[in-house]
Amino acid sequence: MFEQLDQIEKEAKAALANVQSLDDLAAWRTQWTGKKGSLAQASQSIGKLDPKDRPAFGQRFGAIKQALSEQEATLESRLQSAALHEELEEDAVDISLPGRAANIGRLHPSTQSLRRIQHIFAEMGFQVWESREVESDEYNFELLNMPAHHPARDMWDTFYVQSDDPQQKVVLRTHTSPGQIHVMRTLNPEPIRVILPGKCYRYEPVSARSEMMFHQVEGLVIGRNITMADLKGTLANFARRMFKDDVKVRYRPSYFPFTEPSVEVDIECFICGGEGCRICKKSGWLEILGAGMVHPTVLRNGGYDPAEWSGFAFGMGPERQTMLRYDIDDIRWFFSNDGRFLEQFG
Ligand code: PHE
């Protein structure tokens, strides 16, 4: 009997020396120290012993059991920490790998350009006004001195919006100029110095040069004794601040139904310095905006008596100016949501 216990101890220890994993250990336990293991089985033979030998057997049994469980516990904690270590090693993050920079985004080039324009005019005392994008035919055309069937309407191909009112056509504004009437009707009889930035829409085939949606910045100044000299000074100052300190500015006669006289404003081409190149189409000049003295009819429609008041207005396209500035060959880049284009404007 005693020899059997010794034998079990020897074999169990030898088997424990071969245990490599927690799974092995569980199997070892079942075989040797578990409820139905060899040790438990051997203990049952205590009944067959001479009663006087039983205490010694019991002691021996207890000692072996304790020794085995101590060894088992030590091994178990070693295997557990080895397993944990292995798991950590597998999941390890390579901290020497360079990180991926977070993409924090940036302002759209049109927004950047609008902000630049607003900043320049704000320094000259202009306030920023916002006006609606969905307009009536009356505001987009009629009050701007273009009655129905006026041929000048052909300058603006128009999106008409379905409306229930047969008397009043509703349009997507083709320019920011209807905002002039809203400002005048709101502020009269006060003098006015505002810019109106916003989106416009034109029913035109989309091409490298024209989008169906784009931005404009309208400007309106109304006061007593406002003259063409004010227009020229303001816009020349704007061009210098926007493009280059010593940029040359040229005023060309033009036509708009809501201004008289009307001009188109060009700057000397900053690519070729006036020599003539691809960007300025060999002319040496780049057109940046349309402007003029507010037409008496328009002043009247806004509630200002042209005998007492005068003013000037202008309209410019920030996308066009950005295209000139950065030599962008296609306006469609602006609104096609292509990150490769947008991320170049930091
Ligand atoms: N509204 C004109 C356009 O869209 C620009 C303009 C505005 C011209 C104000 C003169 C005065 O072409």
pLDDT in tens, 229-245: 999 999 999 999 999 99
175 CB within 6 A, ligand 1: yes
197 CB within 6 A, ligand 1: no
Q: What distance in Å separates the CA atoms of residue 258 and residue 184, rounded to the nearest whole number? A: 14
- Probe residue for ligand 1, chosen from 131, 135, 177, 254 as the CB with the greatest number of ligand atoms within 8 Å: 177
CA 197 to ligand 1 center in whole angstroms: 13
Token code pair at residue 95: 């901290």
256 CB within 6 A, ligand 1: yes
φ, ψ of residue 282 in degrees (nearest 5): 65, 5
64 CB within 6 A, ligand 1: no
| pLDDT for residue 32 | 87
CA 162 to ligand 1 center in whole angstroms: 26
Confidence of residue 99 (pLDDT cuts 50, 70, 90): confident
314 CB within 6 A, ligand 1: yes
| pLDDT for residue 245 | 94
CA 112 to ligand 1 center in whole angstroms: 22
Averaged confidence pLDDT in the chain: 92
Q: What distance in Å separates the CA atoms of residue 239 and residue 247, rounded to the nearest whole number? A: 7
Taking 80 as the threshold, does the pLDDT of residue 270 lie above it?
yes
Q: What percent of the chain has pLDDT over 70?
A: 100
**What is the number of the ligand 1 atom nearest to the C-alpha of 219?**
9
What is the pLDDT averaged over residues 192-210?
A: 95
Among 105-114, 151-160, 187-196, the range scoring the smallest mean pLDDT is: 151-160
169 CB within 6 A, ligand 1: no
305 touches 223 (CB < 8 A): no
Burial 18-39 (b: 16+ CB within 10 A, else e): ebeeeeebeebbeebbeeebbb
Confidence of residue 53 (pLDDT cuts 50, 70, 90): confident
What is the pLDDT averaged over residues 119-144?
A: 97
290 CB within 6 A, ligand 1: yes
Confidence of residue 195 (pLDDT cuts 50, 70, 90): very high
Nearest CA to ligand 1 atom 2: 315
Torsion angle of C-alpha atoms 296, 197, 216, 167, degrees rounded to 10: -60
| pLDDT for residue 7 | 86
CA 76 to chain centre: 55
Taking 90 as the threshold, does the pLDDT of residue 261 lie above it?
yes
302 CB within 6 A, ligand 1: no
180 CB within 6 A, ligand 1: no
181 CB within 6 A, ligand 1: no
CA 163 to ligand 1 center in whole angstroms: 26
Bridge partners, residue 287, by sequence? 266
What's the order of all strands across the beta sheet hosting 134-136?
A: 134-136, 170-172, 160-161
Strands 134-136, 259-268: pairing is unpaired
